[in-house]
Chains A and B, each alone.
Chain A
Amino acid sequence: MAVKDIDQVGLDTYKFGFHDDIQPVYTSPKGLSESVVREISRQKDEPAWMLDFRLEALRQFERKPMPTWGADLSRIDFDDIHYYIRPQDRQARSWDDVPEDIKSTFDKLGIPEAERKFLAGVGAQYDSEVVYHSIRDDLEEQGVIFLDMDSGLREHEDVVREYFGTVIPNGDNKFAALNSAVWSGGSFVYVPEGVRVEIPLQAYFRINAENMGQFERTLIIVEPGAYVHYVEGCTAPVYATDSLHSAVVEIIVKEGGRCRYTTIQNWSTDVFNLVTKRAVAYRDATMEWVDGNLGSKVTMKYPAVYLMEPGAHGEVLSIAFAGEDQHQDAGAKMVHAAPDTSSLITSKSISRKGGRTAYRGYVQVMPEAERCRSNVECDALLIDDRSRSDTYPYMDIEESDVAIQHEATVSKVSDQQLFYLMSRGLTQEQAMAMVVSGFIEPIVKELPMEYAVEMNRLIELQMEGSIG
């Protein structure tokens, strides 16, 4: 994901802030109404049950109050958002078929290059629609499905209908309800029993239009003994007005299966990023969320794992980075619904230039879920005195035969550390970036190498101009 064309990029240190002048095929009028929802569904030629699902979700959205906890969401103006923007008419399976101006965006973001080098499949979403999709032939031959969600619904309606909205019901929370009403794009992934997808599938999400709401919807089904690593990246232009990104991701990991879901979220700092992510893990299954939050104005995101049967294991590795005017309210949720389940939450947050991070975690052990183990470790690093970090660890333990641990630390980059590194010739910025990259190393080392390099590079960019 190398940035090739540095000259094109935007303000401050955010290198992805450019936008392209695209004439969309269709833009829904600003604001949300039943007719907007019906029009989205009509344009997608959806079955009636999906329209019903959307309309019910719209009613749920309208009934639910705004959350009163977490970050300040009062600046979101639901009437000033385009809920659906279709950039082009059809989806390409070859980059050559992607319109030149849209392709150039993804070239700048390095996606086709990354695909050639180290990915098993790529989906690229531009505003509301996925404009490019591909998967390696050998995986397709093994029955692996990797489609955009709309195509998934068209081509595999039975499977989608069986699982869609079962992990996150359409009234789960206000923003999940919003997504359920106006969703478009996202990924549909199905990995058949025993199939191991050894190299990652990647989806790339780009908001280009101003005052845009992006509501992708992802459903991943991992059959018994199967494995998949799904990676998503997100960027957007820098505008003077706010955009909204509100995704829903549902994952089902069946017996002995394993799913790893990695996010490197680098939205521009005018995006409200309010995402609901939840997985269910059955007997001896493993679900891992690796969640990197670097961009956005506000993020509220707490990837969850419901451990439904004995032997299930859930992990969340979370990095949050908050700079000026950013609030990252991130965390994790683990629900131990069966005996002999285990979970691990590792959270690292970095605040600088008045930025604010919070770890918000919830660990629940249901009655008779004996011999559960849960370990929570959250560490915060403050770069300066103006920045802030909070920890909200909630525990709801209804069984006594369990082993639950929680540890939290807050540290500051010390003058001694900076002086030491600078005494070896590193500039102050390099020294600061080195302390920060060391701080997140336990998580970065879990990433595939290409992403680890990317993550460190993003951290270095974030640290530019952070001194003084």
Chain B
Amino acid sequence: MSATNGQSTLSIRDLHVSVDDAEILRGVTLEVGAGEVHALMGPNGSGKSTLANALMGHPAYDVSAGQVHFKGHDVLELETDERARLGLFLAFQYPAEIPGVRVASFLRMALNARRESEISVMEFRRLLLDKMQMLRMDPKFASRYLNDGFSGGEKKRNEILQLAVLEPELAILDETDSGLDIDALRIVADGVNRLRGSELGVLVITHYQRLLNYIEPDRVHVMIDGRVVESGGKELAERLEAEGYERFAASAASEET
């Protein structure tokens, strides 16, 4: 399958984002079509997580210029929860802990926020157990407090569980692979691949090519220093693995001057 041949679901144009007055994103342009999987790769500090947080509307990330459209809506005009209800999803690198709130009750409320009419308790239970089974999770997990005392791997798996239950149209996976052992990585990737289809678009943010062995991207983008410096097919990820980011960093720097 080739690049953005479908209608673009997420369209980012010349996005500039600052945190505490320091500009981190310096003109990002990126398109993700419906049902496509894109990988965003880059070294530490290149701005990948900033992009993820800014797309979801984190209040600490200040958008100074550029445009983001999702399903034709001007995303930058929307609050975080409105973006979510529109079908945007972020699997967090460091999910927040919410003591005292059970995974199941949280997820039911989140699902209801996305729906026109409330899902019945029984129907929700079936749905949740089904998705947990797919991700090979212990049913007891549903009655634990949200991320409270979870291991790193449990947190990541919980993010994918939420993705599976909420069925967004575009999911951003922010370094979902970090902190996962190879078995957990396979299960998570498996889950994403099952959800992947005609509807779900995915933006996979990662340092390493490792995850892309399991989630095969349609497109790969390289981010250096707050800009996308190169885009290509999946072979670009393999090249990065072999050559490192040095070459791109150098060309980004020369572009600067």
Contacts and interface: CB of A to CB of B under 8 A. Distances in A.
Given A424-B166, A426-B109, A434-B106, A416 B96 contact: yes
Interface stretch (A224-232, A298-306, A438-446): A438-446
B145 to A, nearest CB: 7
Contacts of B59: 415, 419
A417 B100 contact: no
Nearest to A445: B100
Contact of B95 (A420, A434, A439): A420
B98 A435 contact: yes
A419 B58 contact: yes
A57 B103 CA distance: 54
A422 interface: yes
A414 B96 contact: yes
Nearest to A440: B100
Contacts of B96: 414, 416-417, 419-421
A468 interface: no
B85 A425 contact: yes
A425 B92 CA distance: 15
Contacts of A437: 100-101
Interface in A431-464: 431, 434-435, 437-442
Contacts of A414: 96
A415 B145 contact: no
A86 to B, nearest CB: 45
B90 interface: yes
B56 interface: yes
A377 to B, nearest CB: 14
Contacts of A439: 99-100
Interface string B48-83: 000000001111100000000000000000011101
Interface in A378-429: 414-417, 419-428
B109 A434 contact: yes
B195 interface: no
B110 interface: yes
Given A430-B113, A434-B106, A422 B81 contact: yes
B46 to A, nearest CB: 22
Contacts of B196: none
Contacts of B234: none
Nearest to A434: B101
Contact of A427 (B81, B83, B146, B166): B81
Nearest to B145: A438
A424 B104 CA distance: 13
Contacts of A421: 96, 98, 106, 110
Contacts of A434: 98, 101, 106, 109
A417 B60 CA distance: 13
A435 B147 CA distance: 13
Contacts of B80: 419, 422-423
Q: How large is the interface on A (under 10, 10 to 19, 20 to 34, 35 or more residues)?
A: 20 to 34
A419 B81 CA distance: 9
Given A417-B96, A437-B100, A422 B109 contact: no
A441 B79 CA distance: 28
Contacts of B83: 423
A218 B81 CA distance: 48
Nearest to A438: B100
Nearest to B146: A438
Nearest to A420: B96
B162 interface: yes
Contacts of B114: 425
Contacts of A415: 59-60
Given A419-B58, A420-B92, A426 B98 contact: no
A425 B113 contact: yes
A417 B98 contact: yes
Given A419-B59, A419-B96, A426 B81 contact: yes
Contacts of B146: 438
A442 to B, nearest CB: 7
B3 to A, nearest CB: 28
B128 interface: no
Contacts of A420: 92, 95-96, 98
Interface string A67-104: 00000000000000000000000000000000000000
A94 B138 CA distance: 51
Nearest to A428: B81
Contacts of B89: 423
A424 B99 contact: no
A426 B113 contact: yes
Contacts of A422: 79-81, 84
A388 B89 CA distance: 35
B175 to A, nearest CB: 16
Interface string B151-167: 00000000000100010
B163 to A, nearest CB: 10
Nearest to B58: A419
Q: Quick one: which of A421, A424, A426, A431 has the most chain B CB within 10 A?
A: A424
B95 A438 contact: no
Interface in B112-131: 113-114
B95 A425 contact: no
B84 A424 contact: yes
Nearest to A424: B110
A430 B166 CA distance: 17
Contacts of A440: 100
A438 B84 contact: no
A70 to B, nearest CB: 29
Contacts of B109: 426, 430, 434
Contacts of A426: 81, 109-110, 113
Contact of A424 (B79, B100, B113, B145): B113
Contacts of A435: 98, 101
A441 B100 CA distance: 5
A387 to B, nearest CB: 20
B99 A438 contact: yes
B61 to A, nearest CB: 10
B176 to A, nearest CB: 15
Contacts of B113: 424-427, 430
Q: Which 9 A-B pairs have the closest CB atoms?
A: A438-B100, A441-B100, A425-B113, A438-B101, A420-B96, A424-B110, A425-B84, A422-B80, A422-B81
13 contacts: A419-B59, A420-B92, A420-B95, A420-B96, A422-B81, A423-B92, A424-B113, A424-B166, A425-B113, A425-B114, A437-B101, A438-B100, A439-B100
Given A430-B109, A440-B100, 12 more contacts: A417-B98, A423-B57, A424-B113, A425-B84, A425-B110, A435-B101, A437-B101, A438-B98, A438-B99, A438-B100, A441-B100, A441-B101
